[in-house]
Structure 1
Amino acid sequence: MDRKTIKRLRDLPDPVTAREIQEFLGISKNSAHNLLNENQFHVLRVGKLKFAPKQSFVKWYLGA
């Protein structure tokens, strides 16, 4: 199944994964994981998986 490219903020799912951040920002996989590790927005952890609540990511992206 082909994944569609995320181009708009409203198309982001909640919560946002590193893969979705990578697609939305057009950055590498490592850069997306680094963003999740830098604590610039709220990150949830479930075991080794990391997710960002959509609202937190959008606030960071818009510079709010």
Structure 2
Amino acid sequence: MGDNDFCASLLSLRELGSVEASIRSAKSRAEVSRILDGHELTTDEFADTFPDLAKTVQELPDDTFPAP
């Protein structure tokens, strides 16, 4: 079983869809980090599960403001 299979087995398809939708609407890498933390996903798990989206996230600005 690959890393992608392991991550997908921990999260339901509905939750994976929610993670993807939230990250697609994120405005900064800091916001993405908070989303991943909220779903208890590591950046490696995220990159393995959503490789194309992970590349897109790298283009987001790095927001250094603290979380609300």
**Common topology (TM > 0.5):** no
- Relative to the length of structure 1, the TM-score reads 0.28
Higher strand share: 1
Larger radius of gyration: 2
Higher helix share: 2
